[in-house]
Amino acid sequence: MGRIQVPPIKCQGIKTKLVPFIQEYIDWEGEGRWIEPFLGSGVVGFNVNPKRAIFADSNPHIINFYQSINEREITPSAVKGYLVDEGKKLTEGGKDYYYEVRTRFNKYHKPLDFLFLSRAGFNGIIRFNKKGGFNVPFNHKPERFSKAYITKVVNQVRAVYKLCQLNDWQFVYQDFGKTLAIATEKDFIYCDPPYVGRHVDYFNSWDDTEEKRLYTLLSQSKARFMLSTWHSNQHRDNPYISNFWSNFVIVNREHFYHVGAKEVNRKPMLESIVMNYEIENGLPEAIEYHQLRLLEKSAEYTK
C-alpha cells in the first residue's frame, strides 16, 4: 500500500493512521459513486480516490473549502502566496493577529482564512459556538508558518487539487439524511459521524436521536456501507455497538488518540468498522486472534 495522503484540513478524530485498516475491508467494484455523508477532513475518501464521489457535510466551511479547490478558485499557488503573507503577519502580530483573522473569518467566511485558522488554532481543533462562530484559541506559535511548513500544506492542497481534476467529485453542504437518500445499490457509503460524546462541534452536533436516525437510514439502504465508530476505551463502552450495530459485521482495532504533547497523554481506544456485507472468506485467523485480544483489553479497561 502506498503512502497515505494527509489532507490540508485537519480535525479532531481524523482517521489518517486508520486508513490502511479501513481500506482493507472496503468491498466495492467502483461502479457507482463513493458517498460520504460526513466528509470531515476527507482523509478516507481522498485516499480511496474514487472516480465518482459525493462528499457531503453539515459544516459549510469544510464544504466551501474543498468545493473552492474543486472549482479551481483555490489553487496550490494561491495557497502558497496566502500563507506566506499571512505567516509573516502572524509572526509579527502573534496572537493579536490570529484573533484578527478569526474575527475576519467569522464575518466573511473566506475558505483560505478557514485553512489558516485550522493550522494556527490550538491543537488542530475545529470548533464553533452556538452562533456558528469559530472559537478555537491561538496555539501560541507565532512562527507557525515556516517555509517548510508552508510547503507541506501546499503539497497537501496540490494533491487534492489534482484528484479533483482527474475525477468527478461533488462537494455538498447538506444533512446526512439527504445524502443517504440518493444512494443506490451500486454506490458505496462510508460514514464517519461524530462520536456520541466525543469530537462534537455545533455544526456536527450529535446525540442519541442522530445515532438512531443514522442506524435506521443505513439499515434501509440498498447500498453497501461501512461505518467508522468507537467500540470502547479505558472508561466506558459505546452502548450503540450492542444496541444497534451488532446486527452487522464488525471488525475492531486498537488505536491511540493524542490529546496533548506528551506521550503519557496517549489514550487507548478500540475503533470499530461496521459493515452490512460479509467479509470474503471470513476474518483471517490473525484478525480473529487480534479481536479476541482487544475484547479482553476492553474488559480490562472497564474494570
Identify the band that residue 10 occupies on the pLDDT scale cut at 50, 70 and 90: confident
Identify the band that residue 258 occupies on the pLDDT scale cut at 50, 70 and 90: low
Question: Is the pLDDT assigned to residue 259 strictly greater than 80?
Answer: no
In the chain, what are the domains? Answer: 16-57+174-301 (3.40.50.150), 76-157 (1.10.1020.10)
Identify the band that residue 249 occupies on the pLDDT scale cut at 50, 70 and 90: very high
State the Cα–Cα distance between residues 198 and 50, nearest whole angstrom. 29
pLDDT above 70 covers a percentage of the chain that reads 84
pTM of this prediction?
0.87
Question: Is the pLDDT assigned to residue 296 strictly greater than 60?
Answer: no
Question: Is the pLDDT assigned to residue 300 strictly greater than 50?
Answer: no
State the Cα–Cα distance between residues 81 and 87, nearest whole angstrom. 10
Question: Is the pLDDT assigned to residue 35 strictly greater than 70?
Answer: yes
| Residues β-bridged to residue 252 | 272
State the Cα–Cα distance between residues 96 and 129, nearest whole angstrom. 20
Asked whether the beta carbons of 236 and 270 are under 8 A apart, the reply is: no
pLDDT at 215: 96
